[in-house]
Amino acid sequence: MSTSKSGSGYVEKGQDYQRDQNYITDRITADGDSRWPVEAGRYRLVIARACPWANRAAIVRRLLGLEQAISMGICGPTHDERSWTFDLDPDGRDPVLGYERLQQAFFARDPEYPRGITVPAMVDVPTGAVVTNDFKQMTLDFSSEWTAFHRDGAPDLYPEHLRAEMDEVIERIFTEVNNGVYRCGFAGSQRAYDQAYQRLWTAMDWLEERLSTRRFLMGETITEADVRLFTTLARFDPVYHGHFKANRNKLTELPALWGYARDLFQTPGFGDTTDFPQIKEHYYVVHADINPTQIIPMGPDTSVWLTPHGREELGGRPFGDGTPPGPPIEGEVIPPEHGPGGIGHR
């Protein structure tokens, strides 16, 4: 049976999309016995703003104030079969690692690394070798292992008393929504697509109901669960609705989810890490099997992300007893033309 690779997964002809979840699962920890100890300045987080999984890591890093402890390299929005590339940097090289391709960090770890080259990735700067690309654990470790370097007023994104319920919510969001849109977009048959579509919208209806009575997924404050849902919602109307055929409704037609998404977008750390032109360029150019012409659509109008959301009526305090992060640091600011209402694909 023929198999094609799509995104970070594969599709067997006529079957469901399967995400490759075999990551490098090493962890950077503060226990003193780790091969990879928490150490300010030692590691570089490599992301691409186009990627929803990498966007999560950028948001959590911002919310916790880890910018000075963990530097960040940013790949361009498109890549070839080999790797993400640092084509946004002068001379096409990451200024810290000296690499042209993220692939070089994976090969520094294992010269015969056999799997996909994915973002986000944490790279050990002294050796130039990737430590982990396990995006699910990475952000949890930012919250739990890097506490010595959190900013004053950093929120608790993974509170102990909510973890049991939050883990269930996070898992359902991942399987049914974060990955659910990919199952729609890369379905190998009409049957597989129909099933994926029904699963996605069952979950979206559940989220719409849940968020109609609470400001955030776990209640009154922002948590890791909100970060994980937001990056899919930010891409929903620009990409997933049309490109992935997840088109029962637009996000803007779902009152609770749309208000919630705008509430987060207008919160420091969320909208200021979201680059709409790079998001669209990635999906419409890289996924040539879905979009053979590689034409990038002009719409939708992203200025609507700045309209009033009214979610304050539900109460809550986004940062709990903490405070919002300050402005993005130099070199990490989204250009105004790439923000809400901006023009141009690049």
Rounded Cα distance between 327 and 321, Å, is 19
User: CA quadruple 222, 54, 94, 42: dihedral positive or negative?
Assistant: positive
- pLDDT of res. 1: 29
Q: CA angle, corner 281, sides to 24 and 75, nearest 5?
A: 40
> Which has the minimum average pLDDT: 14-18, 151-155, 260-264, 270-274?
14-18
The reply to whether 75 belongs to the active site is: no
Marked catalytic residue, from 23, 43, 51, 260: 51
Mean pLDDT calculated for residue range 2-8:
44
CATH number of the domain located at residue range(s) 21-149 in this protein: 3.40.30.10
User: Considering only CA atoms, which of 214, 213, 215, 183 is closest in space to residue 201?
Assistant: 183
Q: Which of 182, 197, 283, 284 is catalytic?
A: 182
Where do the structural domains in the chain lie, given as residue ranges? 21-149, 160-338
92: left (phi over 0), alpha (psi -120 to 50) or beta: left
Per residue in 224-282, pLDDT (tens digit) is 999 999 999 999 999 999 999 999 999 999 999 999 999 999 999 999 999 999 999 99
Query: What confidence tier does 148 reach under pLDDT thresholds 50, 70, 90?
Result: very high
Statement: residue 327 has pLDDT above 70: yes
pLDDT given for residue 16 in this prediction: 66
Using a cut of 0.85, tell me whether the model's pTM lies above it.
yes
d(CA 178, CA 230): 10
Q: Is 84 annotated as a binding residue?
A: yes
The per-residue pLDDT of the chain, averaged, comes to 94
Q: In the predicted model, what is the mean pLDDT of residues 37-64?
A: 98
Instruction: Place 346 in a pLDDT band, splitting at 50, 70 and 90.
Output: very low
Q: How far is CA 31 from CA 38, 39, 126, in A?
A: 9, 12, 21
Q: Are the beta carbons of 17 and 186 closer than 8 angstroms?
A: yes
What's the fold here for domain 160-338? Glutathione S-transferase Yfyf (Class Pi); Chain A, domain 2 (1.20.1050)
pLDDT: is 17 or 220 the higher one? 220
51 is annotated as an active-site residue: yes
Domains 21-149 and 160-338 are alike in CATH topology: no
